[in-house]
A = this chain, B = another copy of it.
Amino acid sequence: MHLFYQPNFSELSALIEDEAFHAAKVLRLREGEAVRVTDGQGSWYDAVVQSSTPKRCNLKVVQQTVQHPRPFRIEVALAPTKNMDRIEWFVEKATEIGIDTVSFFYTKHSERRNMKLERLHKIAVSAMKQSLQAFLPQIREVGDFGKYIPTVNTTQRFIAHLPEGKIPAHLLKKASPEQNYTVVIGPEGDFTEAEIQLTQQHGFEMVTLGNTRLRTETAALVACQTLHLVNIISQS
């Protein structure tokens, strides 16, 4: 079954742009063939091809399935690594596991100051289809850390940071089920004292993600996975 991602599908009842091109020129779909489309906002549509050109593939919807959103929301915010492969790996894996928002900020010690979000978006679309999900994560740049932190208004906010001489509680113990979470992951060079202070002024709790030292992108994925498990523990 061919899977497509088409934003605004319910208004269009068709594939356009890249997906239409792929349908017509790569897959060579014909009238009558069955496809499945997600709008990235919770719905799957089973549909049948009515006509197919490289610019537009008109579809007749046979059935719409609404995937219930998770009863919690995960945002992971991180400083992008110099090596973009690592970030791409993180976006793919976090999308497979399930994530709502990936936010890239810039700190004093950031290795990188520009992003190719379009490529990350494609990776997320592909991982969303691969893992049969109907929600596309939002991937965004949020500018300087100092500007971003005060804007975070989720109920549970965490920063993966070990203060001098003290090991904070594990994220698994601090997060409560069915909440909206933001976890902030530092660059390889860590946060400055001032950056940490700012998070403390804005209600972020320090947490550990385990007792080994993790790369930025590994920590980001571990945080995401841990929050899923917080919500599994609480189920009967």
Contact = CB atoms under 8 A, between A and B. Distances in A.
A172 B132 CA distance: 22
Contacts of A213: 96, 130-132
A72 to B, nearest CB: 13
A233 B225 CA distance: 14
A236 to B, nearest CB: 9
B172 A93 contact: no
A180 interface: no
A113 interface: no
Given A96-B212, A96-B214, A131-B212, 18 more contacts: A89-B89, A93-B218, A93-B221, A96-B213, A97-B210, A97-B212, A97-B222, A98-B210, A130-B213, A130-B215, A132-B212, A172-B232, A172-B233, A221-B221, A225-B225, A225-B226, A226-B229, A233-B233
28 contacts: A89-B89, A93-B218, A96-B212, A96-B213, A96-B214, A96-B218, A97-B210, A97-B212, A97-B214, A97-B218, A130-B213, A130-B215, A131-B212, A131-B213, A132-B212, A132-B213, A133-B212, A170-B232, A172-B232, A172-B233, A173-B232, A210-B228, A210-B232, A221-B221, A222-B225, A225-B226, A226-B229, A233-B233
